[in-house]
């Protein structure tokens, strides 16, 4: 079991599935699932990935 430290009250939280601190009730700013993890990814990475995919698909379309 992994230990996670609450950013607000600095108490350890041992529950891997907890999204709120057991002591102060504040958000642990942890992601849950694939879409939840994307929430904390920098938007710049998502934009760059989308632009690269569009450019690659355009190049493939022109080659055919």
Cα-based torsion angle of the residue sequence 22, 27, 32, 36 in order, rounded to the nearest 10 degrees: 170
pLDDT at position 53 is 97
pLDDT tens, position by position, for the chain (64 residues)? 577 788 889 888 888 778 788 888 888 877 666 666 666 566 788 889 999 999 999 999 999 8
Record the pTM.
Answer: 0.43
40 and 18 Cβ atoms separated by less than 8 Å = no
5 and 12 Cβ atoms separated by less than 8 Å = yes
pLDDT at position 39 is 61
């Amino acid at each position: 079991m992994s230990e996670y430290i609450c950013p607000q009250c600095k108490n350890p939280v041992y529950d891997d599935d907890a999204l709120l601190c057991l002591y102060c009730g504040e958000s642990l700013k942890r992601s849950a699932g694939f879409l939840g993890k994307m929430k904390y990814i920098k938007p710049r990475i998502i934009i760059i990935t989308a632009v690269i995919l569009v450019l690659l698909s355009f190049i493939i379309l022109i080659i055919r």
